[in-house]
């Protein structure tokens, strides 16, 4: 069984998991497009998102008490496994029904938060580590309008940097990156 959001998460994961697998240990202290994060920090953040949104799919409150360093052992394979669990968690139609008890918005909308992170941070990590990254066009089409709408609140809460400029002919992904404070070029 799948849902539209789980299909989109799977498509985003297909693009981001190989980037994670391609990160060298020597790159973990490199800067990223997220000014406050080095590769290690951003990788830990994305790992936390993937794990926490599994609980959110089940309408449970995720554990936010600790932000452990997940980058030990075979962390690349563990991230791939946790990402697979994320997709499975959102494959249950009950995961997208109703409102999220902790966020006060529809579950389907909350799922987009994880989808944006999986996509944009996949690009961030690729950019930081010199890897190629082409997002899934269906994912970008799905989260672009959502991100444009949510960006002011994201900036207010410190999740996004100030929006960057983009040319009138910019593609959807360049616009998505701009809404989150990044520049595609």
163 pLDDT more than 80: no
User: Quick one: average pLDDT of 169-180?
Assistant: 91
Angle, vertex CA 117, rays to CA 83 and CA 104, nearest 5: 100
The sign of the torsion formed by the CA atoms of 78, 85, 118, 69 equals: negative
Which residues span the domain enclosing 171? 4-179
CATH code (residue 99): 1.20.120.450
151 in any annotated domain: yes
111 in any annotated domain: yes
Mean pLDDT of the chain: 91
Q: Total domain count for the chain?
A: 1
Name residue 38's beta-bridge partners.
Answer: 31
User: Inter-axis angle of helices 107-129 and 172-179, to 10 degrees?
Assistant: 100
Confidence at residue 23, expressed as pLDDT on a 0 to 100 scale? 98
14 in any annotated domain: yes
| CA–CA separation, 152 and 159 (whole Å) | 10
The mean-pLDDT minimum among 38-42, 140-144, 171-175, 178-182 falls in: 178-182
What b/e string do you get for 100-119 counting C-beta neighbours within 10 Å, with b at 16 or more? beeeeeebbbbbbbbbbbbb
The sign of the torsion formed by the CA atoms of 104, 100, 8, 159 equals: positive
185 in any annotated domain: no
Neighbouring C-beta atoms of residue 48, cutoff 10 Å: 19
184 in any annotated domain: no
Among residues 160, 21, 47, 61, which one has the least CA distance to residue 114?
A: 47
165 in any annotated domain: yes
Residue-wise pLDDT tens digits, 57-78: 999 877 777 778 999 999 999 9
pLDDT band at 39 (very low <50, low <70, confident <90, very high): very high
Stated pTM of the model: 0.93
pLDDT band at 166 (very low <50, low <70, confident <90, very high): confident
């Amino acid at each position: 069984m799948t849902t539209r959001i789980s299909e989109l998460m799977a498509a985003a994961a297909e693009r981001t998991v190989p980037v994670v697998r391609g990160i060298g240990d020597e790159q973990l202290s490199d800067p990223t497009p997220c000014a406050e994060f080095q590769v290690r920090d951003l990788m830990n953040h994305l790992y936390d998102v993937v794990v926490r949104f599994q609980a959110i799919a089940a309408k449970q409150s995720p554990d936010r008490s600790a932000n452990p360093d997940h980058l030990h052992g075979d962390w690349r394979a563990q991230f791939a496994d946790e990402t697979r669990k994320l997709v499975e968690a959102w494959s249950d139609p009950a995961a997208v029904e109703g409102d999220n008890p902790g966020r006060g918005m529809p579950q389907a909308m909350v799922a987009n938060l994880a989808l944006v992170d999986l996509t944009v941070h996949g690009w961030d990590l690729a950019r930081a580590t010199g890897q190629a990254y082409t997002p899934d066009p269906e994912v970008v089409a799905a989260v672009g309008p959502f991100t444009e709408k949510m960006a002011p609140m994201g900036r207010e809460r410190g999740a996004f940097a100030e929006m960057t400029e983009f040319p009138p002919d910019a593609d959807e992904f360049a616009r998505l990156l701009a809404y989150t404070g990044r520049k595609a070029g």
